[in-house]
Amino acid sequence: MNQFSPLPLSIGVLSWRRPHLLRANLSLLKNAAVDHYAHLYVVAQEATPEHESICKEFGVSLNTFADNRGIAGGVQRTFAQAPTEHVLHLEEDMLISRNKQTVYNQLKLSVEALQKKEATVCFLRDLEKPGNNFDLTKYKKLYSFSNGTLTPNLKGKLRPLKTKKLLGLALYDPALPEEVKQTLFTWHKAGYELSPKNFNWTNQALMTSGSFLLKTILPYVYQNPTSRLVNGHPDIERSLNSAWWRAQNFKLIHAKGCFTHIG
C-alpha cells in the first residue's frame, strides 16, 4: 500500500555527459519512492546508450536529445516534457539528502504553496548540507553576526544594494540560529519567504510552474543574454542576476531543503 498520497508534480532530472551521477541520483530517488507519488523522468542532452540502459534499469522514462542546448535549453526541455503544471527541476548532480518522509513532506508543502499562489518559485537545496560549489564569501564580506544580530558591516553599509540582494544567503549561514533566521524572514509552513530583492535565482533544486518558467523566465533569458555564456549557451542564473529580477514581485519560498549538490 502506498504510504504517500499522489502529488500533482513532475520531477525532471536533466543529464549531460555524467551518467554515473544520473545512476546515483535515480537510485536515491527510487529509494525515496518519489515515483510512487510524482511523475519521474529524465531529459538527456547528447544522449548515449548508457542513458538508455540506466533509465531502463530503474524503470524511469527517458527523453533523449542528440544536441546540447546548455542549461537554459536543458531546463526548457525538462519543463516542456512534464505532464503536470508544477515541476521540480533537478540537475543530475543534485541528490536527495534527507529521508523519504522528509522529502515527501517538503515536496507536498511546496506544491501546495504553488497551487495556492503563495509562492511563484520554491527552492529545495538543503540549507544545512548545500554541498559542493556553495560559497558564502561574498555574503560574509558584507554582513557580521554578533550578539544574536545579523547586520551589515562597514563594507556592507557602503554597498547597500549588493548587501540587500545577498541577504537571502543568511539562510545558509551555519552561524545563525533558527530563531535569528525567523526574525529576518517570514516563516511559511513550506519554508522561508524571500523575494527577488534579497535572493538571486538558482537552478539548483527549483520547483515552479511550467507556464511561469516557459513564458516569463526563459523569454527574458533569451532576450537578455549575458556576455558570459556557459559552453556557448545562455545561462539562467547570470541573466537573472539583474535589475529586472530584483524589480519583480515574485513570491519566493526556500524550504529547509532536501537536495545537496555533489557536482
For the chain, which residues make up each domain, given as ranges? 9-116, 137-203+213-261
pLDDT digits (tens, 9 = 90+) for 76-89: 999 999 999 999 99
Alpha helices by DSSP H, 4-130: 19-31, 49-58, 70-80, 100-115
**Given pLDDT bands bounded at 50, 70 and 90, which one contains residue 186?**
very high
CA separation (Å) from 236 to 72, 75, 247?
6, 9, 17
Fold entry, domain 9-116: Spore Coat Polysaccharide Biosynthesis Protein SpsA; Chain A (3.90.550)
Strands 61-65 and 252-261 come out as unpaired
Q: What angle do CA 36, 18, 35 make, to 5 degrees?
A: 0
At residue 229, does pLDDT exceed 80? no
Query: How confident is the model at residue 84, as a pLDDT?
Result: 99
Q: How far apart are the C-alpha atoms of 194 and 254, rounded to whole Å?
A: 7
Query: How confident is the model at residue 1, as a pLDDT?
Result: 45
Which helix (H) or strand (E) segment is 238 a member of?
helix 236-240
pLDDT digits (tens, 9 = 90+) for 100-139: 999 999 999 999 999 999 999 999 999 999 999 899 999 9
Query: How confident is the model at residue 104, as a pLDDT?
Result: 99
pLDDT digits (tens, 9 = 90+) for 21-70: 999 999 999 999 999 999 999 999 999 999 999 999 999 999 999 999 99
At residue 2, does pLDDT exceed 70? no
Query: How confident is the model at residue 175, as a pLDDT?
Result: 95
Q: Which of 127, 259, 117, 244 is nearest to 185 (CA)?
A: 127
What percentage of the chain has pLDDT greater than the value 90? 93
Query: Which residue has 539562510 as its cell numbers?
Result: 171
DSSP-assigned beta bridge partners for residue 42: 13, 62
